Each structure stands twice: as C-alpha cells, then as structure tokens.
Amino acid sequence: MKNLLFITAILFYSLDVFAKVNQPEADFDATQVGKTSIQQEIVVTNPSGSKVEEPTAIDIKLTGDHPGDFSQTSTCPTSLEVGGECTITVTFTPQAEGSRSATLVISDRDSVALKGEGTSKGEGTSDDAPPITDYPQITPVFSLDKTGQLSDNSTAQFNGGISVNDASFALTATNVKQLKVEDGKVTQGDIITIEGVIIPDPAHVDKKADIIVVALYSVTDNDCNPSQGDYYMLTKQSRGLNNNYCAWIYEKGEKPDYCHHEAPEQDDYYYERKGHIPRSSSNDYWNRWNGKLEGLLPLSSLEKLSSEKIMLYQDKPRYTGYVCINFGYRLQDEPKTLVFNGEPIKFSVVP
C-alpha cells in the first residue's frame, strides 16, 4: 500500500511540471489562398512555483484538421529551465477557401487552437493586403529621401490608431489612466494597443525594405514638438503585455527602479508573471534616436515589401506624459526613400 501511495505521489507531482502558453488560441486574419498571413507570437514558459521545480522538455507539433495550413518556428530549446521562456512564431498559409484550423501542441501538456479563413482573390482585401476597416486612414503620407527632401506620397496608404481597453481604434487618445503603485497599493491603469497597416506605393512592392517605428516622448508637450521631448526607435517586436515597456524617462546610464534586472526583491507588480522574471526595460525595445536619418534603426527588414500590419506599442503605462508615434518603411536600395505617416498617432497618460 505504501508503495502504491508513493508511486501515486510521484505521478501527481510530476504532472505539475510542464510548459505553459500565454494564450489558448490564435485567430488569423482572412488570408488569400496560397498567401502567408502576418505572423503571431506565442510565449511558452516553465513557471516556478510548481510542486516540483525542474527543467521541462519542449516538443512542438501541429495537429488537427489542417496542420499543413500553418507553420511554426521557435526559439525554444529541447529543455526549458525553471523560470525560462521561449517564443513560437506561427504563420497561416491557407491551402483552400473556407475555415481552416489546427492545434499547436507543446510537449503534450498545453496547446493553442489555431484558426483562420482562406479567401479567393477579391474577397475582403486585394492580394495579401491585411484588412484595414478596423483602423482610421492616416493622411497625409510623406516620402523623404536621404538628402532630407520631403514630398507628398499619394499612392501609399497608411491606416492605424490607438485602442484603449479594447475600444475602437482612433488616431488620438487623451487622459489614458496611469498604472500606479503607492504604499504597496496597485491602482490599475488603462491598457493601450497601437497598431498600423502599410499598403506601400505600388512602385515599391516586392523591393527590399526596412520597417521603421519612431516615437517622440515629452513630459509636458502635446503637440509633438521635437524640441520638447526625446525620440526613440522601436528595434524589437513587443510580446504584448507580458513584456511591456517600463518607462520612457531615464537618465543616460541609469535604469528605472522597476525595470532593471539587477533589482533586489520587489513587489509583485515588478514581475511579468509568477516566477520572478523581471520586466524588460524600455531600452530593450526602444533605443534613443538622435534625429539623423542615417541613425535610424529598423524594427525589421523585409526581402520583399508587401502590405504590412504592425504592432506598434502595447502597454499599461507606468509613466505620465505625451507620446507621438510615426511608422513607415525605408527602401534598402538607393535612394533609400523613407515613406511614413505625416500625422502621428498620439496619446497622453495622466495619473
């Protein structure tokens, strides 16, 4: 009897050691048959706090009705350490019209339901353009060459905006509520999501290009005046609220108290999730820009430019102030034309 209880206990504790994903499903936008969707990222963790803390084996596979319509790549090792995380990148390439589905299975312990719809050319949007009806159109659109010559671009189209707490997207949001921690009490703030869609100039389609995202942060100015704030470049894609940006304000060489990885034991709000994984600092994603064109670093580089949907920013802001965001693309070949939204997406954060 004792042996049976011992074996049962071992099985019970062992079953509590497994990788977990950050979302139960991933829905892809309607995509033309044979075309590839915008990628989605799924974060896998081996959280601490389980009954037995030990590395967990990672095995990833696609099953279900249409596994061939989806593909995945990952940064996951064969064994994920306690407190560790990795990212699975999934794309959708429908092989037929209609509803398509599959299941992304991680180590036979957790899974993500994958869903998408295959369309024929002419349905929804043309070619591989992402849907733009959810976003207001942004005008004007400008082209800038490497000499600094600015001109209107009437053939490229930009859409985008900011959504507060999953409301409809708009070009401006005012009085976003700040997340605050005072005397150990957490006051939840608003969740903001900023996205953009680029439909490039037809003359630029299929050319090599860089995706560029720039933000201007100011403590007091709401008019996007460069002399009243600092410029930042987005150089790494966000993983959403599980790894959000901590602060825009920090002196050179210094790090905000709740951002830096060397901080001693902190309150729960400091951490991304249970397991004491510190939040990455704003500087892990945003780098300061000196305003010179040759100093612009890309978010990503494309072998063939097509219509692009971009997650520009997502956060529960822990700061106050004003932010203006511009985005666009830069051709890699001469004359290295930069095409971007002339009217920035703007928001303000208040206590």
pLDDT digits (tens, 9 = 90+) for 206-256: 999 999 999 998 888 888 898 888 888 887 765 444 334 444 444 444 444
What is the token pair recorded at 219? 């403590």
Q: Which helix (H) or strand (E) holds 14?
A: helix 2-14
Distance from the first to the final alpha carbon of the chain: 61
Cα(233)–Cα(346) distance, integer angstroms? 16
Enumerate residues 6+ apart whose C-beta is below 8 A from 71. Answer: 62, 90, 91, 93
Q: Which of 340, 324, 326, 332 is closest to 300 using CA atoms?
A: 332
Cα(49)–Cα(13) distance, integer angstroms? 12
Cβ atoms of 254 and 287 within 8 Å: the answer is no
CA dihedral 167, 287, 212, 150 (to 10 degrees): 110
- Do strands 345-350 and 192-199 pair parallel, antiparallel, or not at all (unpaired)? unpaired
CATH T-level assignment (fold) for domain 15-119: Immunoglobulin-like (2.60.40)
Q: Which of 131, 17, 160 is closest to 82 using CA atoms?
A: 17
Helices (H) and strands (E) in the chain, counts: 1, 27
Q: Under DSSP, is residue 26 helix (H, G, I), strand (E, B) or coil? A: strand
Cα(175)–Cα(258) distance, integer angstroms? 23
Q: Can you give the pTM of this predicted structure?
A: 0.59
What is the token pair recorded at 12? 């019970």
Q: Which of 51, 53, 57 is closest to 19 using CA atoms?
A: 57
Tokens 């037809």 locate to: 202
- pLDDT value at residue 7: 35
Q: Which helix (H) or strand (E) holds 80?
A: strand 79-80
What is the token pair recorded at 140? 């004007």
Cα(315)–Cα(312) distance, integer angstroms? 10
Enumerate residues 6+ apart whose C-beta is below 8 A from 342. Answer: 138, 139, 140, 141, 142
- Domain ranges (residues) in the chain: 15-119, 137-350
Partners of 150 in beta bridges: 144
- pLDDT value at residue 229: 86
Cα(64)–Cα(46) distance, integer angstroms? 25
The greatest distance separating any two alpha carbons of the chain, rounded to the nearest whole angstrom, comes to 84
Instruction: State the pLDDT confidence band at 157, using cuts at 50, 70 and 90.
Output: very high
- pLDDT value at residue 48: 66
Give the whole-number percent of the chain exceeding pLDDT 90. Answer: 30
pLDDT digits (tens, 9 = 90+) for 40-98: 888 888 876 555 557 788 889 999 999 999 989 888 888 888 888 888 888 888 888 88
